[in-house]
Structure 1
């Protein structure tokens, strides 16, 4: 234990970047600390005190404010997942596994010795083991359930009554982790500001991995975390922290909350700041779809049946593609960038200007795509509003004999893709790595544009327009 503390002190005083210190904690310090915690009888209150100290170091190394909750650092079900493990959670899992090994040891003397795993009065490993097993037995009684929008049984699961050995131990450990994560989630739900992400509907989870951290600037990661948990130095937060006299917006008399600055300021809307961000995301989405159209045109369908001679090694064939783009080869993409996009007169006459249309004259098909870059909590509202806006146009196009699809898609202003974007890409035929790249391109475009709006929040937009190309 003393050696681990000494190592911790050396890391804190080392002249290296904070990101490197955080990596050293995750991959070197944490395993070193867990071993003496397993060997000696350490109460969980001591472990929690150590985790609070570690959390303060991580916040300082990452440049995050002290007010950021530790649940934001270690939560595995958070919409923004960071690559850190909590010391308390690892301690609880380790001690529960130890109690399980004593109880189910093949050596009868060890199993009947009644060895106690001492962890203090606040939390006991034996009780946690019983709770985990009880939860697993309940899952066996309930049976298969639907997870998300997938059907029942889509994600196969192993029943604890049929698991043996290491597989059973793994299930119990996962259940202990699930209990810890439920406590974290309940704390975040009770936090009105930092826990606002729990109200996001139909938003894809975003995981920050170590390769992402090495490729990106530390300032970008810091801004992303602060924006998700609303701990950026906005006028509203500065007023609460006692750093500003008024919580007013820097551009208008409205309140200076983060939501107001990034999504609801009427002056920023009038100056075209939000429109510029919208166009940056629209450009990224359009480029991915244009690439998919080109790939589909150059794609030749493989033969349905190929026979091989005896002993001949079969050639690997590409999987058959699916999606609307595979139905025709004359798709034409038009995007509302740089010019006013209008529905072709051969289809219908309307004043509505969708963001993108994809037209196939040979099959008389029309795909209308409408992009919104809203505040993440208003994604569902934006989808319903845009769908209702174009409902009459869809009916009119169908009456003219065109098979028409209208799909709104959302990318949150802080860089989180809505499930609608995933649905649209799948409908068009983008799958696998192409789909992941398209989603990543759109989210990164939204994040970069929002970061620029935040940096220039107090500057005149005309002065900032000259350097927009560098975003």
Structure 2
């Protein structure tokens, strides 16, 4: 029920205590509901959080009390999602990490509500409201008025700086509302967005100081994953727990158990040589490599990519003579409504394909003579075009390194093919072993002509294959595989 309660003391202390008790009661009921953890998290996000925000807005809650409530909520969310108590709140609420969950932080929502209240009262047009001199009290730790001033200063500075291009973006690719041209409503929205950005920056500062749970900051070539509720619901509980714990390296690996003081020897039980960190188990153990565990994961991902490319090359489509990807429009001209380009696969209709699954492929002799075996070769005899695809499933920190290594490995083969009269492309693609596709894969699919929803769907499937395979490698980390017996 909307409204505000008053008692004879005209103080909010009793009402704030009642709100805190209600939150604890709601969380307890959800916890005892018997539902799977991911459903409990959804109930909190869409049932409890909206009911908390109104009391936080109308009562003079200090930030310290809101943070205390958030700690209780975070403890429940960790338990429901199957992660340990040491799991950082950055992993739960951050929108700038490589793995983003669809949950909102109570503290962030509280600050956004209070700043909007400050701006609404400041822009009031009613003389009685202006005469009331309403003050927004949020405690000594954080002042809503000061936060609004800081956000406005940052927005005014952004007008001077302009829109900056990030990564491979060209000039003018992104636009955003400007402070100097926005109306009152637009400025309120901009300030709220800036408050959220400031909260995200504070989380990133904390992540920089975290050696393990902040290691995702070094994933230069990996694309971010934003999980939706439908994706979370479709996951088994153990799979979701493994994904979260592996990304932030809080799985009970021997190396972590040794750090936590629970075991005395962190040495890998397979190779008997190096400490068994998560990185060692999933991508660096020589015995696991010899057993074929990493090869099995690689081939699982490769099968998914090969199946999609095989379907794409067989499609009947309008042929184009040259490869076009972007149609530039001159000033004063109208944009052509035709497709921007069909990629390499749209330039011929007689494509053939072979994939090196289970190491059974030999490079097509009509193209060039070589002992190298790219993972996938697609070629057209009629147009004398060839595409070499090389897949790597590395540790996410080494995606860029793997890309450079593979491109250098096949550089000479590409030159040999060109000397034989073949127009040749080498596309190195990387998928992290924890299920994060590299930027190289996104670009390679666009080059081939797999775009739009098809590209997103394929990347989702590929990431799932890598993630599930790594989960199985983790679960069987101390066992000898049957193939090795």
TM-score (norm: length of structure 1):
0.92
Tell me, in whole angstroms, the C-alpha distance in 1 between the residues paired with 2:218 and 2:97.
Answer: 11
Which residue of 2 is the match for residue 309 of structure 1?
Answer: none
Tell me, in whole angstroms, the C-alpha distance in 2 between the residues paired with 1:80 and 1:364.
Answer: 42
Tell me, in whole angstroms, the C-alpha distance in 2 between the residues paired with 1:12 and 1:126.
Answer: 37
Of 196, 199, 214, the match for 1:180:
199
Which residue of 2 is the match for residue 299 of structure 1?
Answer: 317
Gaps of 5+ in 2: 1-18, 321-336
Tell whether the 8 Å contact from 1:4 to 1:32 is kept in structure 2 after alignment: no
Tell me, in whole angstroms, the C-alpha distance in 1 between the residues paired with 2:318 and 2:371.
Answer: 39
Shift of 1:10: 2.2
Of 415, 422, 427, the match for 1:402:
422
Report SS of the residue matched to 1:47: helix
Which residue of 1 is the match for residue 327 of structure 2?
Answer: none
**Aligned pairs, how many?**
449
Of 75, 84, 88, the match for 2:94:
75
**Alignment pair present for 1:364 and 2:355:** no
Q: Calculate the aligned-residue CA RMSD, in Å.
A: 1.7
Report SS of the residue matched to 1:366: strand
Report SS of the residue matched to 1:260: helix
Tell me, in whole angstroms, the C-alpha distance in 1 between the residues paired with 2:465 and 2:484.
Answer: 18
Which residue of 2 is the match for residue 235 of structure 1?
Answer: 254
Tell me, in whole angstroms, the C-alpha distance in 2 between the residues paired with 1:13 and 1:37.
Answer: 26
Gaps of 5+ in 1: 303-316, 466-471
Tell whether the 8 Å contact from 2:163 to 2:174 is kept in structure 1 after alignment: no
Tell whether the 8 Å contact from 1:357 to 1:368 is kept in structure 2 after alignment: yes
Which residue of 2 is the match for residue 64 of structure 1?
Answer: 83
Q: Deviations over 1:194-218 (max 9, x none)?
A: 1000110121110111101111111
**Alignment pair present for 1:460 and 2:484:** no
Report SS of the residue matched to 1:97: helix
TM-score (norm: length of structure 2):
0.90
Tell whether the 8 Å contact from 1:301 to 1:320 is kept in structure 2 after alignment: no
Which residue of 2 is the match for residue 376 of structure 1?
Answer: 396
Which 4+ stretches in 1 moved above 6 angstroms? none
Of 49, 52, 68, the match for 1:30:
49
- Aligned pairs for 1:44-443 within 5 A: 44-111=63-130, 113-253=132-272, 254-295=274-315, 298-300=316-318, 319=339, 321-443=341-463
Which residue of 2 is the match for residue 312 of structure 1?
Answer: none
Tell whether the 8 Å contact from 2:319 to 2:347 is kept in structure 1 after alignment: no
Tell whether the 8 Å contact from 1:456 to 1:464 is kept in structure 2 after alignment: no
Tell me, in whole angstroms, the C-alpha distance in 1 between the residues paired with 2:432 and 2:95.
Answer: 21
Report SS of the residue matched to 2:212: coil
Tell me, in whole angstroms, the C-alpha distance in 2 between the residues paired with 1:135 and 1:401.
Answer: 57
